[in-house]
Structure 1
């Protein structure tokens, strides 16, 4: 607090409004400095703007970024709407700054002290949800340093900031459970000792709702993630001990890391992975039908045309938003890209789209259709999962709409500093592809709109590739375009479709029951009276008996075919039943229409 500030406040007349506001602000600044010292030490009492009527926790309070008074988190937004200091501050700001919006609690959290981290990591912590988890993270130096190491690795990519926050919050939740089980625990570093390993395992089991009776986890994925986060944090602790030349801490951390490498797998990871796999069994994991994808595409194009017509001659913010969303959704559907990859496409990347000349040697081997496609599609390389380079194809229709969006960016209120192609007006972020797909899938009124998501569309490609009988080289090209390898393509994306299994594999099973003489070279050439009505008749015979079976088959097939199938069922014992059903045979025309289902 500066003496000049006090003198400036006393320069106003006694009882004046300006004098009261300035004195209150000075009083709040002094209280804020005291509160900061209390938070850094981890002990003491904070001074709030209003005395609470009952016992309250320090975690429930945040400072106002304008007057520095400590208010309850839930009431902070109400205070800022009438904060006198805020109103006086806004008078000195530009109109652009007056209209900016942000999360109230995240701005207030930026004033709180953080144990040890860089500016970038501090910003991630401040933008977290301000709850018990984030409060512990601020005061845990090892978690902050772990977050700083992640920021050094992924901080350049803004879309990875959420990943950093998630990893830090997982360790924060882990520490809250540890504190409940042992009051002496203060930070994550207290647990990084060989003698505390079993306690760490017990904390992880409690956090992930482990059931000893069933020997399974309620939250198995969290159990797996906690192991990775702990290893990363211990590696940071080892590096810190080496830099400080602390041999004792280094030795303890290395032994604890060795226990994580050797014993964590048997204690936690194996059972967690088994639980994850078992939960996937007999689970409905359908893929979207092609007709529903086409219906969604047609709906998107209709909305796109309407929006383009509105903003071509005159700017319309609602039409701009609709055009932005529909084009992004079409890019995801056409390329089968992950929604996060397409959403984060930058304006600079689009402007630097590949315009290289076509390789003449390769071009001469292409079919006429392939030659035409190579001319009309624009290829863009973007960042995919784990930093892999993945391509995106844009049609001429998409490019026309995107060029119109770029043309109208400034009029729509998109900040010049916003790097994204599909930018959100009035913000520095991009629109989310998952929201676009969810919104327009519901509007298109297709069957099962919940299946029209980017992950399901990617699984549809992998599953339908089975019908094309692709070579290994062709399958590798598809997998590389999707952004993974053949193993991931076949093991995780390709669905074991029940229709394919019943229709194809069951032929092999029936043929093997009838003997090796019915076997052929492949499944398509198998004709053991299984492909068609025989399989159905076998089920009917089991359920209702031979005579009803013959009656059903006699309605569909001529007498010669019926005798052949009866012989397959076991001989001449039931052939006399044909005479008993002659009077029940349908007319010739009806029988002919029914015969269409014959193999």
Structure 2
């Protein structure tokens, strides 16, 4: 995210330098006389069409507007520390213009373009046959690696077990890849199950099929988008595999301080590493022999997930299950 913002600001600075010779560095933008040049640079980068009512890349237009405000506040803080009232006033004027004028100059056209693109976009989902292929492939990999690890530890089988378990949970729950791959061990350890111990005599009121179904799954909650708490269901077979995964973490070389359930050895730029669900989804979709493996994505939109659920429910499928 930080790299993306810096790239966007860098592209903006290069573009405005082509338009206005008075701009040498980013804080030079925060003079009222340079405001029109800044708006023109944003419009050029976002690809405003000839009619001036749409953008080729509307998201870039809105994100640049937000970034310029954020940098403007940094600019104001900088000049306050330097006790330069004149430049502070200029930066505050630019921020005021961005708040009051950019909504008309940029945001309105960008938002209208986004809504228009959304109306015209088509959501292409994987076929039922391809999903069943991936489900069967994951189940076989999960069971095979789990059986090997029951006998003795093997680093390759341990890694493959984690990959299969990660994608199995994602496929069943249809959650965002970032949510599933960053499940914390403490969240997983707090899983709940439905049995006579947890709900008491109410469990005896269930029918035999209801009891069998309840005993197959456990539930735990994880951090979702915008810090929301979202539920995750896990089949008992996957649960056993996850327990085995945690059992051999030290043998696999995973740091004891790594908080992630799907943590792997090593660190990445100071942070602990974990399996990448998006990359694994692409690889496993290809390996399972799916006809349209490119349609499998781990970061689908909310609209696509709702569409997918309705599609499977209409075909008598309530989810991708283990059996």
| 1:466-511, Cα deviation, whole Å (9 max, x unpaired) | 8979xxxxxxxxxxxxxxxxxxxxxxxxxxxxxxxxxxxxxxxxxx
Structure number with larger C-alpha Rg:
1
Count of aligned pairs: 306
1:436 aligned partner = 280
2:11 aligned partner = 173
Q: Compute the TM-score of the two structures, normalised by the length of structure 1.
A: 0.46
1:408 aligned partner = 248
In structure 2, C-alpha distance between the alignment counterparts of 1:205 and 1:457, rounded to whole Å = 27
| 1:342-373, Cα deviation, whole Å (9 max, x unpaired) | 00112232233347975679x68x96455654
1:453 aligned partner = 297
168-177 or 405-414: which moved more?
168-177
1:388 aligned partner = 228
In structure 1, C-alpha distance between the alignment counterparts of 2:99 and 2:221, rounded to whole Å = 37
The CA deviation at 1:384 is 1.1
Say if 1:458 and 1:442 are closer, same or farther in 2 by CA, change over 3 A.
farther
1:333 aligned partner = 171
2:202 matches 1:202? no
Say if 1:264 and 1:457 are closer, same or farther in 2 by CA, change over 3 A.
closer
2:92 matches 1:254? yes
In structure 2, C-alpha distance between the alignment counterparts of 1:395 and 1:246, rounded to whole Å = 63
The CA deviation at 1:281 is 4.6
Counting only pairs closer than 5 Å after superposition, residues 306-321 of structure 1 correspond to structure 2 as: 306-321=144-159
Say if 1:457 and 1:174 are closer, same or farther in 2 by CA, change over 3 A.
closer
| 1:284-340, Cα deviation, whole Å (9 max, x unpaired) | 322223333222111101111222223322332222221111110011011111001
Q: Which runs of 4 or more aligned residues in structure 1 lie more than 6 Å from their structure 2 counterparts after TM superposition?
A: 466-469
Retained in 1: the 8 A contact 2:76–2:91?
yes
Counting only pairs closer than 5 Å after superposition, residues 506-521 of structure 1 correspond to structure 2 as: none
In structure 1, C-alpha distance between the alignment counterparts of 2:211 and 2:153, rounded to whole Å = 38
Retained in 2: the 8 A contact 1:333–1:457?
no
| 1:519-539, Cα deviation, whole Å (9 max, x unpaired) | xxxxxxxxxxxxxxxxxxxxx
Higher RCO (Cα < 8 Å, 6 or more apart): 2
Say if 1:389 and 1:279 are closer, same or farther in 2 by CA, change over 3 A.
same
| 1:413-455, Cα deviation, whole Å (9 max, x unpaired) | 2223322211223443111101111111111112322222234
Q: Compute the TM-score of the two structures, normalised by the length of structure 2.
A: 0.82
In structure 1, C-alpha distance between the alignment counterparts of 2:187 and 2:160, rounded to whole Å = 22
Give the counterpart of 2:262 among 422, 437, 443: 422
Say if 1:205 and 1:443 are closer, same or farther in 2 by CA, change over 3 A.
same
2:27 aligned partner = 189
| 1:65-98, Cα deviation, whole Å (9 max, x unpaired) | xxxxxxxxxxxxxxxxxxxxxxxxxxxxxxxxxx
Counting only pairs closer than 5 Å after superposition, residues 87-486 of structure 1 correspond to structure 2 as: 163-212=1-50, 215-241=53-79, 246-354=84-192, 358=198, 368=207, 373-427=213-267, 428-456=272-300, 459=303, 461-463=305-307, 464-465=309-310
1:538 aligned partner = none
SS in 1 for 2:151: coil
SS in 2 for 1:404: helix
Say if 1:297 and 1:251 are closer, same or farther in 2 by CA, change over 3 A.
same
In structure 2, C-alpha distance between the alignment counterparts of 1:308 and 1:457, rounded to whole Å = 33
In structure 1, C-alpha distance between the alignment counterparts of 2:190 and 2:284, rounded to whole Å = 30
Retained in 1: the 8 A contact 2:193–2:217?
no
Give 1 or 2: higher strand fraction. Answer: 2
In structure 2, C-alpha distance between the alignment counterparts of 1:389 and 1:306, rounded to whole Å = 33
CA RMSD of aligned residues (A): 3.1
Say if 1:467 and 1:401 are closer, same or farther in 2 by CA, change over 3 A.
closer
SS in 1 for 2:222: strand
In structure 2, C-alpha distance between the alignment counterparts of 1:190 and 1:411, rounded to whole Å = 55
Unaligned runs of 5+ in 1: 1-162, 470-599
Counting only pairs closer than 5 Å after superposition, residues 73-92 of structure 1 correspond to structure 2 as: none
Say if 1:394 and 1:306 are closer, same or farther in 2 by CA, change over 3 A.
same
In structure 2, C-alpha distance between the alignment counterparts of 1:266 and 1:457, rounded to whole Å = 28
Counting only pairs closer than 5 Å after superposition, residues 545-560 of structure 1 correspond to structure 2 as: none
Retained in 2: the 8 A contact 1:287–1:459?
no
SS in 1 for 2:273: coil
| 1:154-199, Cα deviation, whole Å (9 max, x unpaired) | xxxxxxxxx2332233222212222333344232221122222111
Retained in 2: the 8 A contact 1:287–1:457?
no
